[in-house]
Chains A and B, each alone.
Chain A
Amino acid sequence: MKTIVLSIVLIIPLLALGDEADMSTSIQEVKKQHEASFLDMPGVVSVGIGLDPNGHQAIIVGLDGSHPETKAKIPAILEDFPVVIQIVGPLKAQ
């Protein structure tokens, strides 16, 4: 009986921790979930994590030129994280 009570007491905090981790998805996870679909859009050559003009962590989508149709498809915010579009140019092995 003692063992069971002790186990329950130990398990509860673990469950609580698990819940918390589910609540806030990290920017790395959000980026990972969406980067393949970004990279499939015409002109997108990179997806990374940087800072927006206000200094907040942001998902940075890099284009190889101006692609208005692609820009229109990229949301400004993705699961609470800002998305910034940058023209990084065609990336070539140097």
Chain B
Amino acid sequence: MADDLNTIRGILKSNRQNLFKRANVVATGVGYKETGGARTSTLCIVCSVKKKVDAGQLAGQDFVPSAVAGIPTDVVQTGVIRALQAPTDRFRPAPGGVSVGHVAITAGTLGCWVTKNGQKVILSNNHVLANSNDAEIGDSILQPGPFDAGSFPQDHFANLTQFVPISFEGEPSQCQFANGVIAVFNAGCRVINSNTRYKVAKVQAEDNLVDAAIATPLDPADVKDEILNIGPIQGTVEGELGMAIKKSGRTTGFTTGQIQQVDVSANVQYGAGQIALFTDQLLAGAMSQGGDSGSAVLDENNRLTGLLFAGSDTTTIINRIENVFSALGISL
């Protein structure tokens, strides 16, 4: 048998080029011949074709002979063979689970497609689509993201539509009362010729519920309303303690986990030493790395339950999808 196999391999090697010249042939190999759908014990040369065509419709030189140098052949229809795409590749149309990002960031994950005012838009994090508050509505979103060789304008895919601002600790305060008090105080400083001036900073930031943003695709034909390696979303569900979950993300692809904590308050570090307090979060074990931010989190029945945005080597932090939907006024 081994001798047979090696002999056939040799014959295939010297005839491979000739076989590939024939129309529709996409692969050649050595296998057992199938007759009437059943595998036989006869080794043969298998020619995989895009499409099986009746002998009568083929030009003579395109026909795969029934035997090559005495070795029988088999023709199997496999369709076009494509390299499996990585989440960091360019996708058109684009499903959830692939690389995306604001022009000024590295890359994050396109979570999923949602509906805003009757239009399909992409959902991800503020820090993926809106550069952690440092963006203008209408800014360009690239797929893949800049870190994955996405460039403007070739990979310009969508425009930022809306984001929920993240409140960081120590930011200038938006409190009108406190700013008013300080304005009076500073006026007083001026009167007494002091060079000292004061400004109001938040010691404790306001609570954040979500790190979320949406962007509208330039071309509605680029919408692929499903998630890579998961499929279409089957509704939503509230996250509960012990629930089995999964996600498909740019960096670690398809991973699974379990909700280990609910009602979580967590201090999350953003680049440049910024910290933001998030409340009412879900916490799971290790199921993500940098670049997975924005991934949609689903339960076993493909119901959407959260939006992944932060974590460590051992922990993943997830916004509740009901908070994301109400903050952005979106639905599935």
Known interface pairs A48-B281, A48-B283; A91-B311 also in contact (CB < 8 Å):
yes
Knowing A48-B281, A48-B283 touch, does A90 contact B312 (C-beta < 8 A)? yes
From known contacts A89-B312, A94-B308, infer whether A49 and B261 are also in contact, taking CB-CB under 8 Å. Answer: yes
Is B211 within 8 A of A93, CB to CB?
yes
CB B104 to nearest CB in A, in angstroms, measures 15
When chains A and B are docked, how far (Å) is the Cα of A48 from the Cα of B312?
16
Category for how many chain B residues contact A: 35 or more
Q: Which of B263, B309, B314 contacts A89 (CB 8 A)?
A: B314
- Chain B residues with Cβ below 8 Å from A64 are 312
- Please state if A93 and B292 are interface contacts (CB–CB under 8 Å): no
Flag whether B289 is at the interface (Cβ < 8 A). Answer: yes
Most chain B CB inside 10 Å of its own CB: which residue of A45, A48, A51, A64: A48
**What 1/0 mask marks residues of chain A from 72 to 94 whose CB sits below 8 Å from any chain B CB?**
00000000000000011111111
Q: Which of B66-74, B139-147, B182-190, B264-272 contacts A (4 or more CB under 8 A)?
A: B264-272
Cα of A60 to Cα of B314 in the assembled complex, Å: 15
Instruction: Please tell me if B29 contacts chain A, counting CB pairs below 8 Å.
Output: no
Given the complex of chains A and B, what is the CA–CA distance between A64 and B269 in angstroms? 11
Q: A46-B264, A47-B264, A49-B241 are in contact. Are A93 and B283 (CB under 8 A)?
A: no
Say whether, besides A49-B261, A60-B261, A62-B315, A91 and B270 are in contact (CB < 8 Å). Answer: no
Q: Contact at A49–B315, with CB atoms within 8 Å?
A: no
**Complex Cα–Cα for A50 and B261 (A):** 4
Q: Tell me if A31 and B312 are in contact (CB < 8 A).
A: no
**Interface size range of chain A in the complex:** 20 to 34
Complex interface: chain B residues within 8 A of A35 (CB): 265
Asked whether B4 is an interface residue with its Cβ less than 8 Å from the other chain, the reply is: no
B28 near A: Cβ within 8 Å? no
CA distance A61 to B312 in the complex (A): 15
Interface residues in A47-69 by Cβ distance below 8 A to B read: 47-51, 60, 62, 64
A93 pairs with B315, CB closer than 8 A: no
Bitwise interface map of B from 261 to 301 toward A, beta carbon under 8 Å scored 1, else 0: 11111111111000001000101000011111100000000
- B219 at interface (Cβ–Cβ under 8 A)? no
Determine the chain A residues whose CB is within 8 A of the CB of B271 once the complex forms.
93
B317 is an interface residue with CB less than 8 A from chain A: yes
Query: In the bound complex, do residue A94 and residue B291 qualify as a contact, i.e. CB atoms below 8 Å apart?
Result: yes
Interface residues of A in 26-42 (CB under 8 A from B): 28, 31, 35, 39
> What residues of B have a CB within 8 angstroms of the CB of A90 in the complex?
269, 312
B3 proximal to A (CB < 8 A): no
Q: Which residues of A contact B260 (CB under 8 A)?
A: 50-51, 60
Within 8 Å CB of B263, what residues of A?
28, 31, 48-49
23 contacts between A and B (CB under 8 A): A28-B263, A39-B267, A46-B265, A46-B266, A46-B315, A48-B261, A48-B283, A49-B241, A49-B261, A51-B260, A88-B283, A88-B315, A89-B313, A89-B314, A91-B269, A92-B312, A93-B211, A93-B271, A93-B310, A94-B108, A94-B289, A94-B290, A94-B292
A→B interface (CB under 8 Å): 28, 31, 35, 39, 45-51, 60, 62, 64, 87-94
